[in-house]
């Protein structure tokens, strides 16, 4: 006699009873097997559970549950974990050599150059030492705070607070230049 035979309300209720009865076991076995296989290829417990439930449904369609359901669940989880590890070992990431690197495509290069040009133009319009400070920070050589402070004749400790005030000024200036759309998509 199997769990399906014990359900009085029909096959749908019987399947629900089987799921309710086996869910803790399947979850515990999948979690334990995934933790045990953490040293090799990564196997997610949820993926193992899903594969075992699928195998269980296939088994039910062919004729019912095995006599020792707990042992079948343990064996099914281990078999699915082995299959997942074997698949992960043989899989290779797809790399198409004919497709150009998206970061190096002409459109992105042009947009990036335009954005840098707009940023440098905005920095040049900043008042006082803000223009010099942010221009030094945007220098292509990626200078350190010590180098920037030496170049500008400032103390290294005051560089952070001044930079913060200058970035705030730049934000306010750029916000005033960008027209915010009105409700319903109309622009001012």
| Sequential DSSP letters for 116-153 | HHHHHHHHHTS-HHHHHHHHHHT-TT---HHHHHHHHT
The per-residue pLDDT for 133 is 92
Question: In the chain, what is the greatest distance between 2 CA atoms, to the nearest angstrom?
Answer: 88
Go through 78-90 and write b for each residue having 16 or more CB atoms within 10 A of its CB, e for each that does not: bebbeebeeeeee
CA triple 153-159-162, angle to 5 deg: 110
| Phi, psi values for residue 43, rounded to 5° | -125, 125
The per-residue pLDDT for 1 is 43
Q: Quote the crossing angle between the two packed helices 69-90 and 45-62, to the nearest 10°.
A: 120
* Tokens (6 digits) for 75: 């064996």
Task: Find where tokens 């299959």 sit.
Answer: 83
Q: Indicate the class that CATH gives domain 106-179.
A: mainly alpha
* Domain spans, the chain: 3-89, 106-179
Q: Exposed, middle or buried, 132 (CB in 10 Å: 0-12/13-18/19+)?
A: middle
Among 10, 30, 13, smallest CA distance to 21 is for 13
The per-residue pLDDT for 182 is 63
Tell me the pLDDT of the chain (188 aa) as tens digits: 454 454 445 666 777 787 788 899 999 988 888 887 655 556 788 888 999 989 888 888 887 777 888 898 899 999 998 888 888 787 776 666 666 666 667 888 888 888 889 888 999 999 888 999 999 998 888 888 889 999 999 888 889 899 999 999 998 888 877 665 666 655 55
CA triple 23-62-67, angle to 5 deg: 55
The per-residue pLDDT for 124 is 92
| Phi, psi values for residue 34, rounded to 5° | -65, -40
Measured distance CA(76)–CA(42) in Å, rounded: 18
Taking 3-state DSSP, the helix, strand and coil percentages for the chain, each rounded to the nearest 5, stand at 75, 0, 25
Task: Please indicate, yes or no, whether the overall pTM of this predicted structure exceeds 0.75.
Answer: no
């Amino acid at each position: 006699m199997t769990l399906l035979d014990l359900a009085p309300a029909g096959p749908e209720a019987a399947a629900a009873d089987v799921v309710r009865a086996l869910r803790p076991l399947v979850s515990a076995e999948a979690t334990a097997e995934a933790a045990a296989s953490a040293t090799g290829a990564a196997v997610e417990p949820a993926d193992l559970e899903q594969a075992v439930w699928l195998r269980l449904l296939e088994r039910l369609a062919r004729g019912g549950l095995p006599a020792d359901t707990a042992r079948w669940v343990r064996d099914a989880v281990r078999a699915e974990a082995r299959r997942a590890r074997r698949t992960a070992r043989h899989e290779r990431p797809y790399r198409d050599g004919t497709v150009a690197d998206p970061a190096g495509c002409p459109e992105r290069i042009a947009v990036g150059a335009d954005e840098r040009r707009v940023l440098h133009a905005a920095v040049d319009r900043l008042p006082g030492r803000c223009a010099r400070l942010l221009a030094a920070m945007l220098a292509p050589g990626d200078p350190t705070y010590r180098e920037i402070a030496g170049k500008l004749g400032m103390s290294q400790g005051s560089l952070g607070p001044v930079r913060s005030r200058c970035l705030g000024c730049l934000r306010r200036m750029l916000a005033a230049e960008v027209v915010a759309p009105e409700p319903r998509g109309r622009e001012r």
